[in-house]
Structure formats: C-alpha cells, structure tokens
Amino acid sequence: MRIGELAARAGTTTRTLRYYESRGLLPARRDGNGHRTYDESDLRLLRQIRTLQDFGFDLEETRPFVECLRAGHPEGDSCPAALVVYRRKLAELDALIGQLTSVRETVAGQLARAERARDELAVEALVPGGPEPLCELGGQER
C-alpha cells in the first residue's frame, strides 16, 4: 500500500506520515519508483501513534510504544519503557486536572462575585439620585 492509502485508512494525511518518517518514527520501504510502501503492520503502528496523540501524548512519547510493537509484542504498551510513559502521563494528567480544577473554582468565584456586584449596581441605579453608572452595564449577553 502506498502513502495515500495508508493515510486515508488511518484518518490522517500524507504530510503527517512523511513527518513521522522524518522523525524516524515510521520508516517506509520504497518500490521501484521511489514511492513509499507500507503494509498492515505499519497501519497498526500508525494507529498506535494516532491513538496516543489523541490522548495528548507528545510524538516522542509514542516512540516506546511503536518500538514495542515493532519488537513483536501484540500490544504496544507491554514494554517497560511504555509503562514508564503511561505512569508519567498519568501524573501529568493528575497535576493538570488539579490545576485546571483549581482555576475553574477561582474563575467561578470571580464570576459570581462580579455578577453580585453588577446586580447591586443595577439596584442602586433604580434609586433616584443614585450614582451614575460608569459605563454600559445593562446588556448581559453579546
């Protein structure tokens, strides 16, 4: 199979495959015309890469999985180096989720506070002789 077909079957692009090859991740054989040639096992390697990429793994982090598959293992994650990557990524995810959750709470709190302040201003605006609004504080959306 040539590069276009492999790309289509993996749901990616030829540019991506050439990029992987340039990084030494997915080398290709060549036919008489100099065209890249792939087989079904390359498709499996590529699918492994793509899956990990979708999970947010860096390209370099997929290398142990690919090498594991290429070494003959039916699963890319059965080698120690892949397990190490799994564990590290798990820790990164936990840290990131924790940070994002913390930020989420902070932003939610700020939003609530700002909305309260806005509502109080709106009430004051109803009081005759109250302070003038400093800018347009009417519309909510858009």
Partner DNA sequence: GTACGGCTTGACGTCGACGTCAAGGCAAGG
Partner DNA sequence: CCTTGCCTTGACGTCGACGTCAAGCCGTAC
Q: Which stretches of the chain bind its own copies, using CB under 8 A? A: 55-56, 68, 71-73, 75, 77-80, 82-84, 86-87, 89-90, 93-94, 96-97, 100-101, 103-104, 106-108, 110-111, 113-115, 117-118, 121, 134-142
Q: How far apart are CA 36 and CA 18, in angstroms?
A: 9
> 25: closest CA among 16, 33, 34?
16
Here the tokens at position 34 are: 């100099």
DSSP secondary structure code for residue 79 in this structure: S
Residue with tokens 């180096």: 81
Q: Could you tell me the smallest distance in angstroms from the CB atom of residue 32 to its own copies?
A: 34
For DNA, the binding residues in 36-95 under the rule CB under 7 A are 36, 53, 58-60
Distance in angstroms (rounded) separating the CA atoms of residues 115 and 15: 48
131 contacts: CB under 8 Å, gap ≥ 6: 124
State the minimum distance, in angstroms, from the CB of residue 139 to DNA: 26
Neighbours of 53 (CB within 10 A): 15
Q: How far is the CB of 113 from DNA (least distance, A)?
A: 24
Tokens of 15: 């540019």
123 makes contact, choosing from DNA, its own copies, none, with CB < 5 to 8 Å by partner type, with none
35 binds, among its own copies, DNA, none (CB under 5 to 8 A by kind): DNA
Binding mask 12-41 for DNA (x = CB under 7 A): xxxxx-xx--------x----xxxx-----
The residue ranges that bind DNA (CB under 7 A) are: 2-5, 12-16, 18-19, 28, 33-36, 53, 58-60
